[in-house]
Amino acid sequence: MPLIHAQSISAGYGDSRAISDVILTLQNGELLALVGANGAGKSTLLRVIAGAHRPTAGTVSFKDSDISRLTDFQRNKLGISLVPEGRRLFASMTVIENLIVGAGSGRAGAWNVESVVETLPMLKPLLKRNASRLSGGQQQAVSIGRALMSNPEVLLLDEVSLGLAPIIIDELYESLSVVRQSGLGIILVEQDLARTIAVADRIMCLLEGHVVLEGKSGDLTHDQITDAYFGHSIGSFSEPDLTTEEGVQA
Amino acid sequence: MPKLIAGSVRVDRYQRRALVTGVVAAAAFVALAAAPYVLDPAVTSSWIKLFYLITLATMWNLLAGYAGMVSVGQQAYIGLGAYGLFVFNDMGFDPYSSALIASVAVGVIALPLSFIAFRLRGGYFAIGTWVIAEAVRQIVIRFDNLGAGRGRSISNYTADPVFRNMFTYWLALGILALALVVTFYLLRSRMGIALQSIRDNEVAARALGINVSRTKRIVFVIAAMGAALAGSVICIQAIGVASPNQIFSVSYSAFMIFMVLIGGIGTIEGPILGAVIYFVMDLYFSQLGLWYLVVLGLLAILVTLFLPKGIWGAIHERFNISLFPVGHRIVPVADKFLPQSSAQPTVKEKRPNGRFRR
Amino acid sequence: MIVLNALVQGVLLGGLFAMAALGLSIAFGVLRVVNLAHGEIMTVGAYLAYLSLSSFGLNVWVSLLIVVPAMGFVGYWVQRLLLQRALRLSELAPLLVTFGLAIMIPNALVEVFTNDKKPLPTGDLAVQSITIVDGITIGVLPLLTLVVAVALIAGMQLFLARTQMGRYMRAAADDSDTLRLMGIDYRKVYAFAMALAFGIAALAGVFFGIRQGGVTPFDGQLTVLFAFEAVIIGGLGSLWGTLAGGIVLGIAHSLAGQISPDLPLLVGNLVFLAILVFRPTGIVRSKVAA
């Protein structure tokens, strides 16, 4: 029984199509990485799974039950938690308040403020600080911690390392490896290919809204992935201007 | 952006249709102007009300529908128009010239007031204009020579009731025509484009180098002058003001909003249609007393929620009719000799009709 | 001494204005909705209290136990059924909807209750007063009003800071879409905030009615302006600022009343407009919750 099964998803913004006929499956305890150029449709796919974006076609099921008609907050209550692109912290609130609000779904589990801080140690001295006065890396840690507070079974991470210093990214990934040990399924959108290959169980590469490559990360070579990433193998250099997608989420 | 592919397209401002509109409108104007010679004075005098209602609706629509400023304080300028008429009438001008002079004076007053009102945004702008209207009323009633809180009548007016009626009719018609012409040309000018971009996204408009405050301020002053002209017509028709509370009543804002919403906000045609609907409703239902106002309020809410583009918006969407072409569209040059109806726009037609999203 | 007395009375009056403004402040702070019918909600609250008095013979204070929750309930559903839809449509739509309500309510009230002032008697409380020193006498009722206003603001601050719903409200004000990702339906949070705003407005309406010796249908057109002025004078988004704004407005009214009884409204409006010009961010700069 897969944790998440997304069947024939198509979605877009207005008249422009971001993803077409994508199939995605996430198994228990698996870390699936979505790679692809800007505008390939990775974020859109995550948001469709989270219920934050309504697809034009396709269904999403969670542990074999169809959740296509559920809203984002209902899906969060079932155990699907999205760390949105751009972190999206509640800016007028402190770090600890952001974490507490993250527990809004009321799901029971191992995650609470203490365990989150233990897993993301950089938060420890920051708990009382206002979220608007954090560095990008700190904000990302809060955003991840906030998502964990709902004790998810599926964690959707959008652009974890975007704009962050390598040393901070290392620290975040260290924390994520601890998070993985708790057995939840993770779908990760990441620009950094080397890092993706290192951490992912399986990799899906999207190009212009289509899945162009998929496989266990051990079976794929770096070159294969970069080819798929830029679409060399299918003979196209075009990188479509899909500013709409980024714009909506900015 | 059209200019990126210059040469293959041209911007169609509906020149031909604008010309047709102009000719038809001029003919209608002449016909209406001749009406007092043909029709019964009772009919034409009831049209005076229709004319100033259309003027008020058009002005409020310019303010809210095109520049995004929801004012519930336009009664300030209606009242000032009426009281300004007293001031200039007392100086010896006839009531009709006084109305025109007063509107200029109101424009001069509205300019500094805009600096106060523009400190506030959105909903707070709305209540801010209301406060200004209240303050204006409270100041006006402090002048004994203006009748203080009791209202007063025009001291020096045309004695003959027939002439008075005709003059007032022509004044109201002239003001209406002026309001429509100004609105039409404003929206077809560069400022119309600026307004549309402000309404769509004020921050982006600013980034594009549009002087947002200046544009809004011009509209604010024009709308105030239009309201003042309507106010002086109201005053002349009643040969005075029954009470300052009535001419400065927030109900005027309610009527304007109602007319614009019902007709269709953000279109030129909508407020005209809305004013006609309101005028007819008023003829038949005003004896319901205050329940009538309750129904108006309810209709305004229902239209806002369930028919946000108003009746004209719905008509336009279904039949793609537009009487006053103020939009643009991009047409491929190759198609320019084809009849307009069959021209295939390469870019989706972008028109300011009906939409008033940020 | 006369001036000092006027100042004291102004502060007390400011309590009433602040109470009237609190609901407006909450609705704007959480939902960014300016409720143009805020004054009318106050008036309806006062009429409900009058009805409880005249129909069931309740005491004004007891009637609050019915009036405030009832208006809270109304606020919840007005938000869910009308304003939520309007919020999705455009920025103008909520304004137009609340303005529609502001037109409907007083006219319906006239048809139902006539224009006559309906009394809200409080027994001898209305006339009781405490003399502080010679020349300065404080009415018990205005004092009670100020105390209740301060308590409400303090309570609201605590509520926003310490309770889960309070945190949701602040989160919804920051980013309602992201709150949904936390498993919270922000529409319910909005509706709860509107319920609070309506309930507090109703309470303020009853206090206003008591002070005026009764309630008339068009009171709301006056009180909405007081409430709004207090919010802006105090500075948007600050509840304590709203109290300060109410007091400034109260003092302006009170001092102007010393000069001439027909001046307070005008002077209040002029003080407001002057503050708008010279200090548009309000007199209190604070980053409180909403």
pLDDT, position B353: 38
pLDDT, position B9: 62
User: Which has the higher per-residue pLDDT, B188 or C87?
Assistant: C87
pLDDT, position C285: 54
Token output for C248: 């400034």
Residues of chain C contacting B, Cβ within 8 Å: 28, 32-36, 82, 85-86, 89-97, 99-104, 107-108, 110-111, 221, 224-225, 228-229, 232, 236, 265-266, 269-270, 272-273, 276-277, 280
Three-state secondary structure readout of chain A: CCCEEEEEEEEEECCEEEEEEEEEEECCCCEEEEECCCCCCHHHHHHHHHCCCCCCEEEEEECCEECCCCCHHHHHHHCEEEECCCCCCCCCCEHHHHHHHHHHHCCCCCCCHHHHHHHCHHHHHHCCCEHHHCCHHHHHHHHHHHHHCCCCCEEEEECCCCCCCHHHHHHHHHHHHHHHHCCCEEEEECCCHHHHHHHCCEEEEEECCEEEEEEECCCCCHHHHHHHHHCCCCCCCCCCCCHHHHHHHC
Query: Do strands A31-35 and A202-207 pair parallel, antiparallel, or not at all (unpaired)?
Result: parallel
Q: Which amino acid is at A56?
A: T
Helix (H, G, I), strand (E, B) or coil at B5: helix
Task: For CA atoms C11, C16, C19, C24, give the dihedral sign.
Answer: negative
C284 falls within a domain: no
- A196-211 mean pLDDT: 88
Query: Do strands A210-216 and C129-133 pair parallel, antiparallel, or not at all (unpaired)?
Result: unpaired
Chain B residues lying within 8 Å of C95, measured CB to CB = 70, 122-123, 126
Token output for B58: 């058009």
Mean pLDDT: which of A173-182, A237-246, C146-155 is highest? C146-155
Token output for B333: 């040059």
| C96/B357 touch (CB, cutoff 8 Å), yes or no | no
Helix (H, G, I), strand (E, B) or coil at C202: helix
Residue-range domain boundaries for chain B: 2-342
Chain C residues lying within 8 Å of B254, measured CB to CB = 99, 103
pLDDT, position A234: 47
Instruction: Answer whether residue C224 shows pLDDT above 70.
Output: yes
Name C70's Cβ contacts closer than 8 Å, sequence gap at least 6: C48, C202
Looking from the CA of B37 toward its CB, the CA atoms found within 13 Å total 5
Contact A203, A24 (CB under 8 A): no
| C170/A52 touch (CB, cutoff 8 Å), yes or no | no
Contact B331, B14 (CB under 8 A): no
Contact C52, C260 (CB under 8 A): no
Give the one of C97, C107, C273 whose C-beta lies nearest to B290's C-beta: C107
| C228/B131 touch (CB, cutoff 8 Å), yes or no | yes
Residues C288 and C282: their CA atoms lie apart, in Å, by 14
Residues C115 and B317: their CA atoms lie apart, in Å, by 44
pLDDT, position B330: 61
The percent of residues above 90 in pLDDT, for chain A, comes to 58
C283 falls within a domain: no
Q: Which amino acid is at B356?
A: F
pLDDT, position A216: 85
User: Which has the higher per-residue pLDDT, C287 or C174?
Assistant: C174
Token output for C85: 């839809």
Confidence of residue C131 (pLDDT cuts 50, 70, 90): confident
The domains located in chain A, with CATH, are: 4-249 (3.40.50.300)
Query: Do strands B329-332 and B9-12 pair parallel, antiparallel, or not at all (unpaired)?
Result: antiparallel
| B123/C34 touch (CB, cutoff 8 Å), yes or no | yes
pLDDT, position C290: 34
Q: Which amino acid is at C133?
A: V
| C107/B139 touch (CB, cutoff 8 Å), yes or no | no
In our burial notation (b when 16+ CB lie closer than 10 A, e otherwise), range A65-103 reads eebbebebbbbbbbbbbbbbbbbbbbbbbbbbbbbbbbb
Chain C residues lying within 8 Å of B265, measured CB to CB = 92
Chain C residues lying within 8 Å of B357, measured CB to CB = 90-91
Chains interfacing with A (3 or more CB pairs < 8 Å): C
Q: Could you list the pLDDT tens digit for every one of the 358 residues in chain B?
A: 334 444 566 666 667 777 888 888 888 888 888 888 888 878 888 899 999 999 999 999 999 998 889 999 999 999 999 999 999 988 888 888 999 999 999 999 999 999 999 988 888 899 899 999 999 999 999 888 887 778 888 877 777 777 888 888 999 999 999 999 999 888 888 888 888 888 777 788 888 888 888 889 999 999 999 999 999 999 988 888 888 888 999 989 989 999 999 999 988 899 999 999 999 988 888 788 888 889 989 999 999 999 988 999 888 888 777 777 666 666 665 444 434 444 444 444 333 333 333 3
Chains interfacing with C (3 or more CB pairs < 8 Å): A, B
- Specify the number of domains making up chain C: 1
pLDDT, position C284: 66
Instruction: Answer whether residue C162 shows pLDDT above 70.
Output: yes
Alpha helices for chain B (secondary structure H) = 15-38, 41-60, 75-90, 95-117, 122-140, 161-188, 190-200, 202-207, 212-237, 244-247, 251-263, 269-285, 290-306, 310-319
- Furthest C-alpha separation in chain A: 53
Residue with tokens 């004020």: B202
Of chain A residues 88-127, which have a CB less than 8 A from chain C?
88, 90-93, 97, 100-107
Q: What is the DSSP string of B93-127?
A: --HHHHHHHHHHHHHHHHHHHHHHHTTS-HHHHHH
Q: Residue B336 carries which DSSP code?
A: G
- A216-242 mean pLDDT: 65
| A104/C179 touch (CB, cutoff 8 Å), yes or no | yes
Taking the alpha carbons at both ends of chain B, their separation in whole angstroms is 20
- Furthest C-alpha separation in chain B: 69
| pLDDT, tens digit, 9 for 90 and up, residues A2-59 | 999 999 999 988 888 889 999 999 999 899 999 888 878 889 999 999 999 999 999 9
Chain C residues lying within 8 Å of B123, measured CB to CB = 28, 33-36, 94-95
Give the one of B64, B119, B304 whose C-beta lies nearest to C276's C-beta: B119
- A197-219 mean pLDDT: 86
pLDDT, position B355: 36
Residues C183 and B74: their CA atoms lie apart, in Å, by 44
Instruction: Kindly report which listed range (B104-108, B161-165, C61-65, C252-256) carries the lowest average pLDDT score.
Output: B161-165
- C99-108 mean pLDDT: 94
Instruction: Answer whether residue C261 shows pLDDT above 80.
Output: yes
| B131/C272 touch (CB, cutoff 8 Å), yes or no | yes
- A217-235 mean pLDDT: 72
Confidence of residue A232 (pLDDT cuts 50, 70, 90): low
Confidence of residue A153 (pLDDT cuts 50, 70, 90): very high
> B93 in the Ramachandran plot: left (φ > 0), alpha (ψ -120 to 50) or beta?
beta
Residues B37 and B28: their CA atoms lie apart, in Å, by 15
pLDDT, position A67: 94
The whole model's pTM is what?
Answer: 0.86
pLDDT, position B13: 65
Residues B96 and C151: their CA atoms lie apart, in Å, by 58
pLDDT, position B335: 42
Element (H or E) spanning C129, and its range? strand C129-133
Residue with tokens 């040309």: B185
- A208-235 mean pLDDT: 76
Mean of the per-residue pLDDT values for chain A? 86
Token output for B173: 């018609």
pLDDT, position B338: 39
Token output for B253: 């804002």
Helix (H, G, I), strand (E, B) or coil at C215: strand
- A73-89 mean pLDDT: 93
Q: Residue B310 carries which DSSP code?
A: H
| pLDDT, tens digit, 9 for 90 and up, residues A132-143 | 999 999 999 999
| A76/C181 touch (CB, cutoff 8 Å), yes or no | yes
Closest CA to C188 of C55, C288, C80: C80
Q: Residue C119 carries which DSSP code?
A: P
Q: Does A71 touch chain C (CB under 8 A)?
A: yes
Token output for B149: 């809180």
CA distances from C228 to C146, C182, C222 (A): 18, 33, 10
Q: Residue B268 carries which DSSP code?
A: S
Q: Does C92 touch chain A (CB under 8 A)?
A: no
Residues C91 and A79: their CA atoms lie apart, in Å, by 34
Contact C239, C282 (CB under 8 A): no
pLDDT, position B22: 81
Token output for A83: 């760390």
Strand partners, A24: A6
